[in-house]
Amino acid sequence: MKIAVLASGSGTNLQNLITQLHTDKNCHIEIAVVISDRKNAYALQRAKHAGIPQEIIRSQHFRDRVEFDNAIAKKIQDYDVDLIVLAGYMKLFQPPFVRQFRNRIINIHPSLLPAFPGANAVADTLAYGVKVSGVTVHFVDEGVDTGPIIAQAAVPVYDGDDEETLHQRIQIEEHKLYPEVIKKYAQEKIKIQDHNVVTIK
C-alpha cells in the first residue's frame, strides 16, 4: 500500500512511520510522498533524509482553498496513493477534497475526541482541567475533528503538567497507535459503517 503523509511541523509522527512502516520491508507500506504546506517544516528534512519525495504546496500560491486542495489532490493522484495520512497537518480540507477521498484520509489528534477538537487541543485540555486525556485516530470528514473514530488511547493528566509534558506523554501513545492503525487499514481490517468503525483483530 502506498501512503502520502501530510505534515506542517516537526514530524515526529512521520519519523516514527518511516521507522516502523516504510523501512520495514515486511509491512509492504510505502510512504510515496511527504507533502507540507510549510517550506520550513522539519518533517521535510526527515523525508529527505529517508529518501522519500517531498512536495511543498503553500496555500498563499492559490486563489482559494479549493484550488489549494486541488493541487494536493493532483499530487496524491500523481503518486498513486491509497491512503492520506495527516500527521500534524494543520490545515482543514474543503468539502470537495473530503468527498473525493472519502474514507481514505486519516488524522491523529492529541485529545480524546470529541473533547477538545481544533488546533490547540493540549492547551484546551489543561485549561479545562480534565484528569484523563489521550490520542485519537479518526477518518476525516467535512467537520473539524468530527470524523468516525478508529482508535483511541488514554493518558493521565498530572497536577503540574504543562503543554510540553502532557504533549510528550500523548506523543508516546501517538507513536504506538498510528502505525498500528495504518497496518490494519492496509490489511483491510478496518470496516466503516456510518459513523462507527469496527477493527478486526
Scanning residues 106 to 165, which ones bind ligand GAR (CB under 6 A)?
A: 108-110, 119, 121
Which residue number, 88 or 147, has a Cβ lying nearer to ligand GAR? 88
Residue in the block written with cell 475526541: 113
- Per CB under 6 A, which of residues 74..103 are in contact with ligand GAR? 87-88
Nearer to ligand GAR, 29 or 108 (CB): 108
| Distance in angstroms (rounded) separating the CA atoms of residues 66 and 183 | 30
Contacts of 144 (CB under 8 A, 6+ apart): 92, 117, 118
Minimum CB separation of residue 109 from ligand GAR in Å reads: 5
Q: State the minimum distance, in angstroms, from the CB of residue 137 to ligand GAR.
A: 9
Q: Which of 12, 36, 125, 133 binds ligand GAR (CB under 6 A)?
A: 12
| Identity of the residue, 74 or 108, whose beta carbon is nearer to ligand GAR in the bound complex | 108
Question: To 5 degrees, how large is the angle CA 110–CA 114–CA 120?
Answer: 40
The H or E element that residue 3 is part of is: strand 2-6
Q: Min. distance of Cβ 165 from ligand GAR in angstroms?
A: 13
**What residue has cell string 503523509?**
5
Binding residues for ligand GAR, rule CB under 6 A, total 15
Helix (H) or strand (E) holding 136, with range, is strand 132-139
Q: Residue 127 has which C-alpha cell?
A: 485549561
Residue 144 or 193: which CB sits closer to ligand GAR?
Answer: 144
**Joined grid coordinates for residue 16:** 516514527
| Active-site annotation holder among 109, 138, 167, 175 | 109
Does 61 qualify as catalytic in the annotation?
no
Burial, 11: exposed, middle or buried (Cβ in 10 Å; 0-12, 13-18, 19+)?
A: buried
> What are the catalytic residues?
109
> Applying CB under 6 A, which residues contact ligand GAR?
7, 9-13, 87-88, 108-110, 119, 121, 171, 174
